[in-house]
Structure 1
Amino acid sequence: MRLVFAGTPEAALPALDALLASDRHEVVAVVTRPDAVAGRGRKLLASPVAERAAEAGIEVLKPARPRDEDFLTRLREIAPDCCPVVAYGALLPKVALDVPAHGWVNLHFSLLPAWRGAAPVQHAVMAGDEVTGASTFLIEQGLDSGPVYGVITEEIRPTDTSGDLLTRLSHSGARLLAATLDGIGSGELVARPQPAEGVTLAPKITVEDAAVDWTAPALRVDRVIRGCTPAPGAWTLTGGERLKLGPVTLAPDRTDLAPGELSVAKNTVHVGTGSHAVLLGDVQPQGKKAMPAAAWARGTRLPAGSRLG
């Protein structure tokens, strides 16, 4: 099949690479979000998908909005059989959905109908799910509600960050997407409606959502931090400034600390929660690089009784 691939971040690259390597399909163009300002230099940068497509010599389309007439005209000229989608980042209007004969097929990183929305991996980690996965489905006007072609499952490990889990899912999901397109192309695969039960939503995690509530139980604190790593990054306040937090370790033997209370030793920093303490890992003060919590505590010279939050 002739394919136009839609995607933007690094997590979409394994799927794009798998389709570029396929001998059953031809990726003739990619659709991605417009260049955006990023990095310390605040330079205008192309998306990872745009860069990979340029390396492969493939046409790159960067519509400000997928309903822009110039984009729709070019899409009709290309006349793709199908448009696979991985984390594109914009809602597709019906006029665009109607262009390819086999529609737009999305690789979504959850076991639908669970965790429909922009941040399924982060929400799965934060909710303490033990198993998640990826689904391929035909995009329709509803939010991730279209009929499903296939699924794969993935165990969520106790120390997984959302970044760890997304990396694994992006590779296993790439194989699922390629197999799905093979089945669509051969006519052997039929999408089946999602069940009405079990729908949960996964809206984008904001910076405010990533603030750690030290009055919550330690297990909840651990899940929030892992779910927000690497983005948007869990944080707390110290001395009126934000302190970014890396993953922590549960310390059930320490029940002597109040929520947010710090206990600093030579090589360790414990923080109290609503249940028992956690051991801080790496932290990152504003304007500085990440460092071990003990090094931060020594450099900050925290007074006795200091608290976070």
Structure 2
Amino acid sequence: MRLVFAGTPAVAVPSLRHLAAGRHEIAAVVTRGDAPLGRKRVLTPSPVAQAGEELGIPVVKTDRLDAEATARIAELEPALGVIVAYGGLVREPLLSTPTHGWINLHFSLLPKWRGAAPVQRALIAGDTVTGASVFQLVAALDAGDVFAEERYEIPAGATSTEVLEALADLGAPLLARVVDAIADGTARATPQSGEPTLAPKLTLDDGALDLTRDAASLLHRIAGVTPEPGAHTTFDGARFKVLRASASEAPPVPPGRVVAFGRDVVVGTGTTPLRLESVQPAGKAAMSAGDWFRGLRTDEPELGS
């Protein structure tokens, strides 16, 4: 079949490469425009744009799938649209432009975690299992019938980046098999069943750590918001980032109090303390918690202050 592929971040690249190595023609790659990256804010093509150019596929850069983008895609006469984390909505008439419509690789087991941040929300909620789903795109958010899915057990302590990378690799061949089945006329999709949960895009507030909460929920939140928007609390009135933490066997400590326990630096929570491993104080580079703690001028530092 003649395909149009829409995607933007690095997690979409394995799917693009897998499809490009298959039997179908990718007429164009649609991706969001170049974005400023780094301290110098250099305009940089998206990972999907870079992969498309490397593969010799025409690249269409657009931040909105508007009338102009719809017209450009329609000129290609695609049989199927494939979307993986493009970062924008596909609406009519574009939704019906390809002969077989659009299919979407989504990083959850639908109908759980419909929305922009399924992996992050799953980790924050403490889920131990997630997966990848390929479904028919419809006007309602992530509500279409599902062609195929695959489960994935979340490793203990994995961050959203690590889980997304694993699901990107898991989902690429799953997506390719569905595309082949649609081409062969053997694809069958089933309606989603169960109670939907929503996964809206994370905000800075989602990274705020309430150290009066229990240790397990704090670790779940840290995993889900790492690296973006990042887990944070305050120290001396300024933002203080917690880059990595883990469970500790230290005795109870008042919430927010930071103490040494053997060679570890631990912070109190509403239950058991957490071991701080890597932190970033305001205005400074990331450092080990031990280096930060040794450089303090107070014997009883408190986070959340």
**Does TM, normalized by the shorter one, top 0.5?**
yes
Whether the 8 Å contact between 2:107 and 2:119 is mirrored in structure 1 is yes
| 1:306 pairs with 2:301 | yes
Report if aligned partners of 2:250, 2:261 keep a CA contact under 8 Å in 1. no
1:242 maps to 2:239: yes
| SS of the residue 2:294 aligns to | helix
Match of residue 153 from structure 1: 151
> What letter is aligned with 2:291?
A
Q: Which residue of 1 aligns with 2:26?
A: 27
Match of 1:270 in 2: 266
Shift of 1:252: 4.0
* 8 A Cα contact 1:265 1:294, kept in partner: no
2:225 paired residue number = 228
Query: What amino acid does structure 2 have at the position aligned with 1:303?
Result: T
| Map of 2:165 onto structure 1 | 167
Moved more, 284-293 or 170-179: 284-293
What is the TM-score with the length of structure 1 in the denominator? Answer: 0.95
The alignment partner of 1:102 has SS state of coil
Between stretches 3-12 and 243-252, larger displacement belongs to: 243-252
Q: Secondary structure at the match of 1:40?
A: coil
- In the alignment, which residue of structure 1 is the partner of 2:256? 260
Task: Number of aligned residue pairs: give it.
Answer: 304
Q: Counterpart in 2 of 1:283?
A: 279
**Structure 2 equivalent of residue 212 of structure 1:** 209
Hey, what's the Cα distance between the residues in 1 that align with 2:95 and 2:176?
20
Distance in 2, Cα, partners of 1:47 & 1:206:
22
Question: 1:9 maps to what in 2?
Answer: 9
**Structure 1 pair 175–302 and aligned structure 2 pair: CA distance change class (3 A):** farther
- TM-score, structure 2 normalization: 0.96
1:178-193 mapped onto 2 (5 Å cutoff): 178-193=176-191
Which residue of structure 2 aligns with residue 95 of structure 1?
Answer: 93
Secondary structure, aligned partner of 2:93: helix
Match of 2:45 in 1: 46
Unaligned runs of 5+ in 2: none
Report the aligned-residue RMSD.
1.3
Cα offset, 1:46, TM superposition: 1.2
Aligned-partner residue type, residue 13 of structure 1: V
CA shift at 1:70, angstroms? 2.3
Tell me the CA shift for residue 161 of structure 1.
1.0
Give unpaired runs (5+ residues) of structure 1: none
**Counterpart residue number, 2:197:** 200
Aligned-partner residue type, residue 211 of structure 1: A
**Retained in 1: the 8 A contact 2:257–2:303?**
yes
Corresponding residue of 1:296: 292
Q: Is the 8 A contact 1:266 1:294 kept in 2?
A: no
Q: Distance in 2 between matches of 1:284 and 1:6?
A: 36
Deviation digits for residues 174-231 of structure 1, max 9, x if unmatched?
A: 1110111011110101211111x22111111111110111000000111100111122
Q: Mean alpha-carbon deviation: is it higher for 54-63 or for 131-140?
A: 54-63
Q: Quick one: distance in 1 between partners of 2:35 and 2:243?
A: 26
Indicate the residue corresponding to 1:136 in structure 2: 134
Greater Cα shift, 234-243 or 88-97: 234-243
Q: Percent identity?
A: 46
